[in-house]
Amino acid sequence: MSIVILNWNIEANPIDTQLIMHDYQLSNQKHFQIIENNDKKFSGKFLHITDIHFDHLYLPNSDPSKFCHNYAKKSKNNKSGKFGTPQSECDSSYALINSTFFFLKENFQDVDFIIYTGDTLRHERDSKIPLTEDYVKWSHKTIINYIMETFDIDKIKFIPTLGNNDEWDHNQLEDGPNTLFSNLTQIWAPLKLNLTSDFLKGGYFRQDINSKLSVFSLNSMYFYDSNDQIKDCNHKNSPGAIQLKWIENQLKSARKERRKVFIAQHIPPLDSEGEPTFYHACYNKYVELLGKFSDVISGHFTGHTNLDTLTFVTVSKNIKNIREKYSLLYLDKDEDPLMESNKDVILVLNNAPSIYPVHNSGIREYRYSTSLEMFGILIDYIQYYADIKKANKIGKLEWEMEYIASKTYSMKQLSPSDWAKVLDQMKDKDSKLWQDYSKYVTVSEY
């Protein structure tokens, strides 16, 4: 069927480009099976999406070595696809973004809220087209327009976070208050978020879903060791140290009020190689908070790496004479998933794949408990993906169910103890569990 997805004119567009959408031929929508649970009536749903990296300058059938912004003189080098170019340095095309938001609009109007873990802008890779402050604002406004056209914000709360590509200077963000926070407060105003003075100063905020569940939208840029504008968290007045204190106070409050907390931020504490991404003191103090409040934190969601990966917060069973009580274990598909027998898994950090098609595109739907005694506990998730190479070949993007966590990993719910059993089975690198995990890390890309 032929569908006009969206049609907008952005007023006073600083880069003189109108956001005009085109018709796309989409296959008949498939019925997506909802996760079945015996206590289905006592559960809610939310989405996790990340790393849109929208590039309005993306040209289909152009040269990927030119970031898909220009055509090569030799036609054989013009290989960019309509829906993206995996394993290149090209960002997300109009066609990919339009089809993705159409899929979201058609299939997810029954979710309670949406967590978006940042990176809206294209990467600052093309030196011939530098980012400007006006362009940054325009890009953020554009995605908010997509959100407002796709969801009823009065019913479905959209909760964004800041990424390392959401500023006009890649990886760089100075202490607040600053111009970016001020601009985003205005741009995000239609989302009706709880943007208090904490956001104007630090870029983070707490959004209550209800009296039993809160989402912390954190600013990982104030922990990030590539951000030269800040100091490590051992400096008490550094923005990272101030944010850590805010997190601790908020978690204490949540524990006292018996609220569960979901933490959302762009950059995970460990990168795709399992190495810390945070400044040393920030990293240690952050991990300590995760461990200390693992009874309060029932979900932790990041993006940034474009990979579907798991990280485990572990605690030593024998804490005597141990300097660091809590530690992180990253599940790298290229290494054996070993864990010392004297450690317990107490929290799981979920990193979701991106819409941006460095691999295949991904969107995740979670189910969480709304029963009185288990409110906010993660029950399951469905990972959806779009095969970008296939889409480019057949001329249309088809979102499919990639896997369901409970079925793939044989779990009753996504509790730390259940994941610990999965981890134990994964120690056999020849096991089906390990093979499945390794396949899904790069979103079933071959």
Amino acid occupying residue 101: F
Q: Which one is predicted more confidently, 153 or 19?
A: 153
In total, the chain counts a number of residues equal to 446
pLDDT single digits (tens) 207-216: 999 999 999 9
Q: Are strands 205-210 and 23-25 parallel, antiparallel or unpaired?
A: unpaired
pLDDT band of 430, cuts 50, 70, 90: confident
Between CA 123 and CA 357 the distance in angstroms is 13
- Return the pLDDT at 202: 98
pLDDT band of 21, cuts 50, 70, 90: very low
Q: Which one is predicted more confidently, 215 or 24?
A: 215
Q: Which one is predicted more confidently, 13 or 434?
A: 434
- Return the pLDDT at 40: 61
- Return the pLDDT at 73: 95
**Sheet order of strands, 297-302 included:** 205-210, 213-217, 260-264, 297-302, 343-351, 309-316, 326-330
Between CA 23 and CA 25 the distance in angstroms is 7
pLDDT single digits (tens) 56-71: 999 999 999 999 999 9
Mean pLDDT on 203-231: 98
Helix segments in 26-123, DSSP class H:
94-107
Quick check: 334 pLDDT over 70? yes
Mean pLDDT on 134-147: 97
First to last CA, the chain: 30
Which residue ranges make up each domain of the chain? 2-441
Transcribe 225-238 into DSSP letters.
TT-TTS--TTSTTS
Do residues 57 and 122 make contact, with C-beta atoms less than 8 angstroms apart? yes
Lowest mean pLDDT segment, chosen from 11-15, 160-164, 378-382: 11-15
- Return the pLDDT at 4: 33
Please state at what angle helix 416-426 crosses helix 432-441, rounded to 10 degrees. Answer: 100
Quick check: 340 pLDDT over 90? no
pTM: 0.91
pLDDT band of 304, cuts 50, 70, 90: very high
Is 155 in a helix, a strand, or coil? coil
Lowest mean pLDDT segment, chosen from 25-34, 61-70, 115-124, 321-330: 25-34
Is 200 in a helix, a strand, or coil? helix
pLDDT band of 338, cuts 50, 70, 90: confident
Q: Which two three-digit tokens encode residue 37? A: 């649970």
pLDDT band of 320, cuts 50, 70, 90: low
- Return the pLDDT at 3: 34
Mean pLDDT on 225-241: 97
Do residues 114 and 101 make contact, with C-beta atoms less than 8 angstroms apart? no
Between CA 351 and CA 24 the distance in angstroms is 31
pLDDT band of 22, cuts 50, 70, 90: very low
pLDDT band of 339, cuts 50, 70, 90: confident
Do residues 47 and 374 make contact, with C-beta atoms less than 8 angstroms apart? no
Quick check: 13 pLDDT over 60? no
Quick check: 345 pLDDT over 90? yes
Do residues 160 and 188 make contact, with C-beta atoms less than 8 angstroms apart? yes
Is 249 in a helix, a strand, or coil? helix
Mean pLDDT on 163-192: 97
Quick check: 308 pLDDT over 90? yes
Quick check: 11 pLDDT over 60? no
Contacts 24+ apart (CB under 8 A), 125-131: 125/67, 125/89, 126/66, 126/67, 126/69, 128/69, 129/57, 129/69, 131/168, 131/169, 131/170
Quick check: 7 pLDDT over 50? no
Q: What is the mean pLDDT of the chain?
A: 90
Between CA 388 and CA 392 the distance in angstroms is 6
Fold assignment, 2-441: Purple Acid Phosphatase; chain A, domain 2 (3.60.21)
Quick check: 351 pLDDT over 60? yes
Mean pLDDT on 390-403: 97
pLDDT single digits (tens) 104-139: 999 999 999 999 999 999 999 999 999 999 999 999
Between CA 181 and CA 184 the distance in angstroms is 5
pLDDT band of 323, cuts 50, 70, 90: low
- Return the pLDDT at 317: 75
Q: Which one is predicted more confidently, 109 or 15?
A: 109
Taking the CA atoms of residue 213, residue 366, residue 189 and residue 175 in that order, the dihedral angle to the nearest 10 degrees is 80
* Residue from 45, 261, 51 nearest 156 by CA: 45
Between CA 65 and CA 376 the distance in angstroms is 45
Mean pLDDT on 378-398: 98
